[in-house]
Amino acid sequence: MEQRQKTEMPLQPGLGRARRSPQSVILGLAAALTLTPAAAQEVILHLRGGDRIAGKILAEDATNVVLRTPWIERLPVPLSAIERRETVPSPASTNAPAPSVAQATASAPPSTPATTPAAPPPASAAAQPQPQPPEKPSATTARPPKRWKAQVSMGTDLQFGARDRELFYGRAKLTYELPYPNNPRRFFRSIADYSVDFGRTDGTKSTDRMYGSLKTDFDVGERVFVYNLIGAGYDSVRKIDLQYEVGPGAGYRLFNRPKFAMNLEAGANYQAQERADSPSVRKVYLRLAEDFTWKLHPRVTWIEKAEWLPSAEDPGQFQLRFESSLSFGLWQNLALKLTVLDLYDTRPARGVDKNEVLVRSSLELTF
């Protein structure tokens, strides 16, 4: 009898170890609740880096929040990367207060996904938050800047009575700007300018000219740029059958503000004139120029350009071109434009005045 009791006594401690104490049962239930999936609640997680992730909470533990997003079935997001949470109310209960994440985690039953969950993402996905999917552009999204800008001006000056006068003129200007890929603050620009004038006074041709030019600019610094200018045309009243010019140079942007911009330019200019009643002229000129655009009012703009071309051989022989225009906005892209044009040449063709001044008005359309 004593021998049997000695063999049975060691079984009692073993039975004691198989039983669970109340403290261990409570800790086990808490761990089970911690790993229980949360209700599929729509939230927006605002990350510390500034990104946002929208999805439904599937589960949450002491280190991660598991989301279901439109592009991945299970996305673990570290709690240390979350700055704050934003609950998205469901359409059916817009007026009812949404439960907190802690309540949904503790009380919601496990949710069974309708489809078989995908394989868990690689370890690198849990280490860093996934980027938010691209949003669809809204109506208020800013439009990309325009690369092309066109201006068309047309005008006429008619007078009938003691003296008959008919003048017609037009101008078209096309500008293209392209920012550099490595520095959007620097540009390549191309400006094409074409103008034509024709008129009669008392039956005699008083104006007959056409001229076109193409100027390209390349920014090489924040304010410095290089350019090349080419142009060709004729002026039968000033007895120029054909005129063409070409010349490179450099410029400096003295002011570049939203309402006021001013440029200074210096370079060389080779010019040739085929004259009707005089010997042809082929000379190399120096070119000094300036231009500015001043927005005096949202509807009023003043543009001024001046070029001085002294001869490289004799600075006493020069050409001067001056143009000033004032534009008044009438309606949307339509404006009334007043222009003053002054052309001066110390050595014109025979019988032609050295100075010619034109004052004209026109309607300008910008698009």
**Which of 71-75, 103-107, 125-129 is predicted least confidently?**
103-107
Return mean pLDDT, the chain. 80
Give pLDDT, residue 90.
Answer: 63
Residue 85 reports pLDDT greater than 50? yes
Amino acid at 320: L
pLDDT digits (tens, 9 = 90+) for 267-319: 999 999 999 988 999 999 999 999 999 999 999 999 999 999 999 999 999 99
Give pLDDT, residue 129.
Answer: 54
Q: What is the mean predicted confidence (pLDDT) over 311-330? A: 95
Instruction: Report d(CA 335, CA 275) in Å as an integer.
Output: 37
Residue 335 reports pLDDT greater than 80? yes
Q: Which residue has the higher pLDDT, 159 or 260?
A: 260
**Which of 75-89, 294-308, 332-346 is predicted least confidently?**
75-89
Residue 52 reports pLDDT greater than 90? no
Q: Which domains are present in the chain?
A: 36-92+101-107 (2.30.30.100), 148-366 (2.40.160.40)
**Which of 72-81, 98-107, 175-184 is predicted least confidently?**
98-107
Give pLDDT, residue 35.
Answer: 43
Give pLDDT, residue 123.
Answer: 46
Q: What is the mean predicted confidence (pLDDT) over 7-28? A: 45
CA contacts within 13 A on the Cβ side of 315: 3
Give pLDDT, residue 146.
Answer: 80
Residue 134 reports pLDDT greater than 70? no
Give pLDDT, residue 191.
Answer: 97
> 156, 172, 170: which is closest to 367 by C-alpha?
172
Confidence bin at 113 (pLDDT 50/70/90): very low
pLDDT digits (tens, 9 = 90+) for 92-107: 544 445 444 444 444 4
Residue 6 reports pLDDT greater than 60? no
What share of the chain has pLDDT > 70, as a percent? 74
Contact criterion met (CB below 8 Å) for 82 and 47? yes
For 64-71, the CB contacts below 8 A with 24+ separation are 64/126, 65/101, 66/37, 67/43, 68/40, 68/113, 69/130, 69/133, 70/133, 71/133
Residue 82 reports pLDDT greater than 70? yes
Q: What is the mean predicted confidence (pLDDT) over 221-244? A: 95
Instruction: Report d(CA 180, CA 185) in Å as an integer.
Output: 8
pTM: 0.61
Residue 154 reports pLDDT greater than 50? yes
Residue 15 reports pLDDT greater than 50? no
Q: What is the mean predicted confidence (pLDDT) over 201-221? A: 94
Cα angle: 116, vertex 121, 127; to 5 degrees:
145
Instruction: Report d(CA 302, CA 260) in Å as an integer.
Output: 10
